[in-house]
A and B are shown apart, each in its own frame.
Chain A
Amino acid sequence: MIEIRELSKAFGPIRAVDRLSFSLPRGEILGFLGPNGAGKTTTLRMVVGLLTPSAGRVIVNGHDAVCEPLAVKRLIGHLPEGTPLYADMTVSAFLRFVAHAKGLPSRLRAGAIDQALEECALTDIRHRLIRHLSKGYRQRVGLAQAVLGDPPVLILDEPTVGLDPRQIIDIRGLVRSWAGRRTVILSTHILPEVEATCTRVLIISRGRLRAEGTPAALGAQGGLEQAFLRAIGDIAEEAP
């Protein structure tokens, strides 16, 4: 479903992403791990088409993200870093705007909005102003705009940052329920989150691919935490 080939992005002399290649089959949930500043957000922005790669290609369901940006954007629901929303709108007015902007035909919009509200458990608060919502609810509104119109691919940039444990569990449950149905890339630096929700893991550091596999395979030697530290090269001196 998603294929990344030799993807690179340089900001002046800084190589934020360096010849990154991986592919993700349909229905998999990928945990995209790395320390802060590893190039996670930069990579996701290139997949969505918000940033043009310096080199390499992003192919989503056969469409190139640079040559056919609109075709790729139609396949993707995106939750940007920090969950930006229009605080001065109500939840349902915001989702109506999103449905229109995503180009859904007007007769399908009301149904798609109801479905997204239900999926993210927002039906009861649909008439509230987004500015009056708690952080957990805002996050769910962010997820609702991403799943609106039922895109086959979801790109979520740190969807659980700043939430309380109860809210984190809710969102994990939601993401798990998509397995097999949607192809998801979830960026995070919270390791238990990956073990709880993802079918595959990819660890990057300084823009480069460091490790790839299933959570079980990567965690076989001393757990995922050790695998993470090994991958980013922090325990090299401790190894016998």
Chain B
Amino acid sequence: MRWLPVFRREFGAAVTSPAHLLFAALFFALLGILFSDTLALFADASAGSQAALTRIQEQAGSTVLNVNDYLARNFFGIVLGLLIFAVPFFTMRLIAEERKLGTYDLLLSYPLREIDLLLGKFFAAWAAVCLILGLSVLYPLLMAWLSGGQIEVAPLVAGYLGLVCASAGFVAIGLLASSLTENQLVAGLLTLGLLLLGLLLGNLAPGESGWLSSTMQSLDLYERTEAFLSGVIRLADVMHFAFLTAAAIFLADKALIVRRLGVMR
């Protein structure tokens, strides 16, 4: 538990910093704008608009109007999309800023190992992202209220579990990027690049079969979150994100140790 003081400081800084609060406001503003489109379409279709129903049919491939299948599914998709842009913002400064300001040396002069620092930072940033996810529960509550309680809770729980698992993986990748450079902007852009690449990996796969294609498809972040967001919890998906998280933190630890070995100044 040597990471606990780092976690407490970092989480405290995250929830009180004006930049983060402003960012959370932006996140919810975008979520509101994007979701209200989906909601309006669904409402038109429910009211009998044939054009709206056709569009939903094109998007979801089903003519049955279901709050879970269409509204909740799209809501989770929007949140996941926003996370890909939000996480780099939360993680870019984690290690890079400490190194730039010199406080990294201060932290490591206390009886802490590199991994304690990384775990404290990881859990703090993950908790900050989960806090935003927690606040977004307002939307499913709104859907439940608008649909007069005609919404199933279990798929919503699965969707949130998916978002929590995915954000652990995203935050760990951001932490790794932040460990590689002193430049926050580079760390943030590297994270965004890796996450977007992860999202497109399945589409980039060469052909339908072969080990390379199947590996790329199974690493695809969209592929890995799809089942969660439609309400199915697959152990393989949970393990995928657990492994991704552990691997990224392991590599970040190695990156910091290489720095301590000081091959280059």
Contact = CB atoms under 8 A, between A and B. Distances in A.
State whether these chains interact: yes
A220 interface: no
A68 to B, nearest CB: 11
A78 B5 contact: no
B106 A84 contact: yes
A14 B262 CA distance: 12
Interface stretch (A93-101, A164-172, A186-194): A93-101
A85 to B, nearest CB: 7
A16 B262 CA distance: 11
B113 A80 contact: no
A88 B113 contact: no
Interface in A66-104: 69-70, 73-74, 76, 78, 80-82, 84-86, 88-89, 97-98, 100-103
A6 B260 CA distance: 19
A12 B263 CA distance: 6
Contact of A80 (B2, B4, B17, B105): B105
A183 to B, nearest CB: 16
Contacts of B2: 103
Interface in A1-22: 9, 11-12, 14, 16
A50 interface: yes
A100 B101 contact: no
A80 B106 contact: yes
A139 to B, nearest CB: 14
Nearest to B17: A88
A45 interface: yes
A101 to B, nearest CB: 4
B236 interface: no
Interface string B1-36: 010111011000100010000000000000000000
Given A12-B263, A52-B261, A73-B110, A81 B102 contact: yes
B112 interface: yes
Nearest to A53: B262
Chain B, interface SS category? helix
B54 interface: no
Contact of B8 (A12, A84, A97): A97
B110 A48 contact: no
Contacts of B262: 9, 11, 51-52
Contacts of A101: 5-6, 107, 110-112
A49 interface: yes
Interface residues of B, number: 26
Contacts of B105: 45, 50, 78, 80, 84
B103 A98 contact: no
A145 interface: yes
Contacts of A52: 260-262
Given A51-B260, A52-B260, A70-B113, A145 B9 contact: no
B260 A73 contact: no
A69 B2 CA distance: 14
* Across the A-B interface, the 4 shortest Cβ-Cβ residue pairs: A84-B102, A78-B109, A100-B5, A80-B105
11 contacts: A14-B265, A50-B108, A52-B261, A78-B105, A81-B102, A84-B102, A85-B103, A100-B4, A100-B8, A101-B5, A102-B110
Given A49-B108, A102-B110, 15 more contacts: A12-B264, A16-B265, A50-B260, A51-B260, A52-B260, A80-B102, A80-B109, A82-B102, A84-B101, A85-B103, A86-B9, A101-B6, A102-B111, A103-B2, A103-B111
Interface of A: 9, 11-12, 14, 16, 45, 48-52, 69-70, 73-74, 76, 78, 80-82, 84-86, 88-89, 97-98, 100-103, 145
